[in-house]
Amino acid sequence: MTTRRSFLQKSALAIGGLALSQDLFANFLPATRPMGLQLFTFFNEIDNDVPGTIQKIASVGFTEIESAFSKKGGFYGMKSKEFAALLKDKGLTWKSHHVFGAPFKLPAGAKPPTGPDGKPIVIPPMKNLKENAQEMVDAVAEGGAPYLVCANIPITTMDDIKSSVEILNKAGELAKKAGLTFAYHNHDAEFRPVEGQLPYDIFLKQVDSSLMKMELDLAWAIKGGKDPVQLFNENPGRFPLWHVKDLSADYQKVESVGNGVIDFKTIFANASKSGMKHFFVEHDMPANPLESITTSFANLKKIV
């Protein structure tokens, strides 16, 4: 069985200390595979100039967008059709939108996130699937994005998980009726046991695959002790969306894809088995988002 330690050891060996090797990522996806970006990467600055930020992203070479929540509310202060039109004007296509599964609450003892000025970020009430599932499905469908993704949902206790399964099943049913594909995005917590069971396994088994696919965040899964390829083998075709970011050998995030030790060569070689249709580069509020995505794009271009 592949463990977290052995997976990262193999990753480090594969990279061989040459994180930016010219042939690291050569020839593992068809030349026509587009590259996407999750806009949470620009969370701290996109709301200051949404059109300008979108233009910068397009100029790097990304062609697909996955949106997230915004400090302006809605879709970066816009209706879904307005947001889709902005992306189209910049030569981008809107593929997916992230939404919370339940009302957002900071973890116990956690401090509110701060902006570049060091002050707590003020965020308007955010829509979620528990309370606003039909509204969110309708908005994303109206904007023309084909995927709606649950960004996270309570999983601390078994009662949380049971409630979350109900929310996910309901959201999946509504999305299917609207012609959307619903998916679930993981962090590493889904791979920590709750009463002897992994929340991720429960979601895979108790939410039918016809109602919910999975958006596999490769780095979070690896940090949680899972080998992505093993997940693909166990659940072929269940992963149409990926998040692509990188980790250091001690599981810390690095600024750009290709600057860490994850063995993307092996993972992308199994893209067809996973069912992957789109992937999105994402980093959690890097110090310099534009520099981060530019480096990630250059490294990933060697496989796409």
Name the CATH superfamily for 33-105+127-300: Divalent-metal-dependent TIM barrel enzymes (3.20.20.150)
Digit-coded pLDDT (tens) for 15-66:
343 333 333 333 344 445 799 999 999 999 999 999 999 999 999 999 999 9
Chain mean pLDDT for the chain? 89
Contacts by residues 205-212 (CB-CB < 8 Å, ≥ 24 positions apart): 206/165, 206/169, 207/165, 207/168, 207/169, 207/172, 208/169, 208/172, 209/238, 210/176, 211/168, 211/169, 211/172, 211/173, 211/175, 211/176, 211/182, 212/168, 212/169, 212/171, 212/172, 212/182, 212/183, 212/184
pTM: 0.87
Domain ranges in the chain?
Answer: 33-105+127-300
Triad 157, 126, 92: Cα angle to 5°: 110
Digit-coded pLDDT (tens) for 92-136:
999 999 999 999 776 666 677 676 677 777 777 789 999 999 999
Digit-coded pLDDT (tens) for 259-287:
999 999 999 999 999 999 999 999 988 99
Q: Are 201 and 231 in contact (CB under 8 A)?
A: no
